């Protein structure tokens, strides 16, 4: 007959431990949820703005590497052209010297002066002897010219090889900075996508209000820094509303230094491509009260942002990703100094 024992009940101590463990797990989950709440719209905007600023820093480094790449490409092309022309000249010199040597060999082994003496034409002996001396001098000169050309070609080839190495490093830097910018922008987009549709619409409305406020800016009776600065500023004004795009220098979109370099180019003035280089392109002005319309204005300690002084405490610039070319208060960013081109 089968035994019908009652199943063993868990002890009171075990039940207490299990209950306490479950309660602790619930409490820990609640604490984690409380410790990592969904960021607010303002917090997301602050983080996004920080990412955009970091992206702009990387953008100016990208611009610098791109400008260096273009310069190296031009220098390498010029060196390669010089090497090719020099090689052609060297080949011509060698052919010329070879022709003279062949002609001498065909005359036989008799000393040239003896051949002239036995020629039966003593009246022209001295003239012909002088011609032979000149021929020897020309041969020596040709040999020296060949040697000099060979040394020059070797130097040019070495220089071109060095430039090619620099170009490879620059292209590597260019790729790294482009990847860094794209990473920052992707992170910013991800943060913005974490907002609700209503929150994103509110941010878009803020941006729209900033653009409308830019259209109503009163520049006052601004004094231009110079005729060319005035022309550059007018060119920049014609681009108001164009979008900010990293690495862009017009005419459909711009980053900060792309706008300023493009605008000065329209005025017939060539300035460097990056904000850091533009910071050293003219006379620095450290007092905001001394700025004139068309002066460049440099922002941030690492000089990664630039715009035009517009007058009445306003700057005209391409602010950052997600914005358009517009006027803003000079006090919106940490002012460093102005630059009068």
Residues annotated as catalytic (active site), given as ranges:
256, 305, 317
Q: Is the peptide bond before 131 cis (omega within 30 degrees of 0)?
A: no
Q: What is the C-alpha to C-alpha distance for residues 32 and 38, in angstroms, rounded to an integer?
A: 12
- Residue recorded with tokens 């005729």: 227
Q: What is the C-alpha to C-alpha distance for residues 229 and 339, in angstroms, rounded to an integer?
A: 11
C-beta separation of 269 from 332 below 8 A? no
Token readout for 135 is 């021929």
Strand pairing partners for 297? 307, 338
The total number of residues written for the chain in this structure: 341
For residue 314, the surrounding DSSP H or E stretch is strand 314-317
Q: What is the C-alpha to C-alpha distance for residues 116 and 128, in angstroms, rounded to an integer?
A: 7
Sign of CA dihedral 254, 260, 262, 266: positive
Q: What is the C-alpha to C-alpha distance for residues 151 and 228, in angstroms, rounded to an integer?
A: 46
**Edge-to-edge, what's the strand order for the sheet holding 296-299?**
283-285, 335-340, 296-299, 305-311, 314-317, 326-329
Q: What is the C-alpha to C-alpha distance for residues 3 and 12, in angstroms, rounded to an integer?
A: 26
Contacts of 149 (CB under 8 A, 6+ apart): 86, 89, 90, 93
């Amino acid at each position: 007959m089968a035994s019908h024992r009652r199943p063993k009940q868990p002890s009171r101590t075990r039940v207490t431990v299990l209950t306490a463990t479950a309660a602790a797990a619930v409490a820990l989950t609640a604490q984690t949820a409380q410790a990592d709440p969904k960021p607010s719209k303002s917090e997301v905007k602050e983080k996004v703005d920080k990412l955009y600023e970091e992206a702009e820093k990387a953008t100016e480094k990208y611009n610098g590497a791109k400008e260096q790449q273009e310069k190296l490409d031009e220098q390498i092309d010029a060196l390669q052209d010089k090497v090719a022309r020099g090689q052609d000249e060297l080949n011509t010199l060698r052919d010329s010297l070879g022709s003279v040597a062949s002609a001498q060999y065909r005359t036989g082994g008799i000393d040239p002066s003896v051949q002239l003496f036995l020629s039966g034409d003593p009246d022209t002996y001295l003239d012909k002897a002088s011609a032979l001396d000149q021929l020897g001098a020309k041969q020596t000169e040709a040999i020296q010219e060949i040697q000099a050309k060979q040394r020059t070609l070797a130097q040019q080839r070495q220089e071109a090889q060095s430039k090619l190495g620099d170009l490879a490093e620059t292209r590597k830097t260019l790729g790294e900075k482009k990847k860094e910018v794209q990473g920052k922008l992707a992170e910013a987009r991800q943060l913005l996508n974490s907002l609700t549709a209503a929150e994103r619409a509110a941010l878009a409305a803020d941006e729209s209000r900033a653009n409308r406020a830019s259209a109503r800016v009163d520049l006052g009776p601004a004094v231009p820094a110079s005729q060319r600065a005035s022309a550059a500023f007018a060119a920049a004004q014609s681009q108001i509303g164009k979008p900010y795009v990293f690495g862009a220098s017009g005419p459909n979109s711009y980053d900060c230094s792309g706008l300023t370099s493009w605008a000065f180019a329209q005025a017939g003035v060539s300035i460097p491509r990056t904000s850091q280089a533009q910071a050293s392109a003219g006379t620095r002005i450290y007092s905001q009260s001394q700025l004139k319309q068309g002066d460049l204005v440099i922002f941030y300690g690492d000089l990664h942002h630039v715009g035009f002084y517009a007058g009445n405490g306003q700057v005209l610039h391409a602010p950052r990703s997600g914005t358009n070319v517009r006027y803003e208060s000079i006090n919106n960013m940490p002012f460093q100094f102005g630059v009068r081109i």
